[in-house]
Amino acid sequence: MTFSVIILGSGAAAPTSQRYPTAQALQIDENIFLIDCAEGTQMQLRRYKVKIQQIKAIFISHLHGDHVFGLPGLLSSLSMLDRTEPLQLFAPPYLEEWFTEQLKYFTPLGFPVHFHTLTAREPEIIYENKRITVTCFPLKHRIPVWGFLFREKEKALNIRKDMIEFYQIPLRDILSIKAGADYITEERKIIPNAQLTHPPAKPRSYACCTDTVYMEELSQYVKDVDLLYHEATYGNDGKARSKETFHSTAEEAARVALAANARKLVIGHFSSRYKDITSLLNEARSIFPKTVAAEDGLKIDI
Ligand SMILES: [Zn+2]
Ligand SMILES: [Zn+2]
């Protein structure tokens, strides 16, 4: 089953010839979840062959242009492509007013947008379907900002086919065995569940944290995450600037990943002052070796 993320934009602030600003597409089976939607996102979605009609929900971290200016264009295009399915849009306060005002002078969208305003001060589940939950949690930046954690739900136990045959287990008992029950044979013999099932695959998870200063408590919000995206706008040479602008350094991103016991870290949202981000990658890897640097188009299977 698919659970992968495509980085659509890996740069901070304005687009450059190398990097678009922030947007990411998370593909979970046939559903796309878009995180942030900077200028040019619809072009990047096409470039990297993301099926835009599969977008179920959009999660906006904060109201800085480099995370949100692509929204009117993308939604207008979806409308032109005859989308009728409602779109869920999770965003900070005022996004709805801004967006509605933007589109007031143009052809109305052909599908409803359901706005959900983020207000949580503690981690809070804001979306769920059969497969996943999405939790938002506050980050710290010049304006209110939230991170998002996508986590698969626990899967049922896998029943062993050889055991079904061996004990001639009837269909009516299989569901309860998958849910953890033991099996009692006609001779009243108890067969323990562990003998009948294999444990399910571990639920996978992805967390996106942008934009933020270093936050010690963040590692608890994303504890044991499989893949952590953490902004690293600056390297150690930009430490003072990162504090002034409420951003993080690569080293700080790595400290969060280490404390969170993340399996892998992606750093991104690089300042355009870095034409080559090798130094940032090395700084992060000195603390958390399993770090990769985001590039536009980078796809990671989780
Ligand atoms: Zn930003
Ligand atoms: Zn920002």
How far is ligand 2, taken at its centre, from the CA of residue 177, in Å? Answer: 49
Spatial CA neighbour of 1 closest among 127, 146, 106, 130: 130
DSSP result, 41-57: HHHHHHHTT--GGGEEE
- Per the CB < 8 A criterion, the answer to whether 190 and 225 are in contact is no
Q: Ligand 2 is a single-atom ion; what residues have CB below 5 A from it?
A: 64, 211
pLDDT in tens, 203-252: 999 999 999 999 999 999 999 999 999 999 999 999 999 999 999 999 99
- Strand-pair category, 124-128 with 113-117: unpaired
Six-digit token pair at 128?
């769920």
Closest listed ligand to the CA of 22: 1
> CA 102 from chain center: how many Å?
27
- Per the CB < 8 A criterion, the answer to whether 196 and 156 are in contact is no
- Strand-pair category, 205-209 with 145-152: antiparallel
Tell me the helices (H) and strands (E) count for the chain, helix number first.
11, 18
How far is ligand 1, taken at its centre, from the CA of residue 14, in Å? Answer: 9
Here the contacts of 76-81 (C-beta below 8 Å, separation 24 or greater) are: 76/103, 76/106, 76/107, 76/109, 77/42, 77/52, 78/52, 78/53, 78/109, 78/111, 79/107, 79/109, 79/110, 79/111, 81/52, 81/53
Is the pTM here over 0.85, yes or no? Answer: yes
How far is ligand 1, taken at its centre, from the CA of residue 5, in Å? Answer: 19
Closest listed ligand to the CA of 270: 1
How far is ligand 1, taken at its centre, from the CA of residue 64, in Å? Answer: 6
DSSP result, 124-186: EEEEE-SSEEEEEEEE-SSS-EEEEEEEEPPPPPEEPHHHHHHHT--HHHHHHHHTT--EE-T
Closest listed ligand to the CA of 21: 1
Give pLDDT tens digits along the chain (302 positions): 899 999 999 999 889 999 999 999 999 999 999 999 999 999 999 999 999 999 999 999 999 999 999 999 999 999 999 999 999 999 999 999 999 998 899 999 999 999 999 999 999 999 999 999 999 999 999 999 999 999 999 988 999 999 999 999 998 899 899 999 999 998 999 999 999 999 998 999 999 999 999 999 999 999 999 999 999 999 999 999 999 999 999 999 999 999 999 999 999 999 999 999 999 999 999 999 999 999 999 999 99
What span, in angstroms and rounded, lies between the C-alpha atoms of 202 and 231? 26
Which residues participate in catalysis according to the annotation? Answer: 66
Closest listed ligand to the CA of 141: 2
How far is ligand 2, taken at its centre, from the CA of residue 170, in Å? Answer: 58
Element (H, E) at 5: strand 3-9
What span, in angstroms and rounded, lies between the C-alpha atoms of 156 and 223? 23
How far is ligand 1, taken at its centre, from the CA of residue 241, in Å? Answer: 14
- Per the CB < 8 A criterion, the answer to whether 63 and 143 are in contact is yes
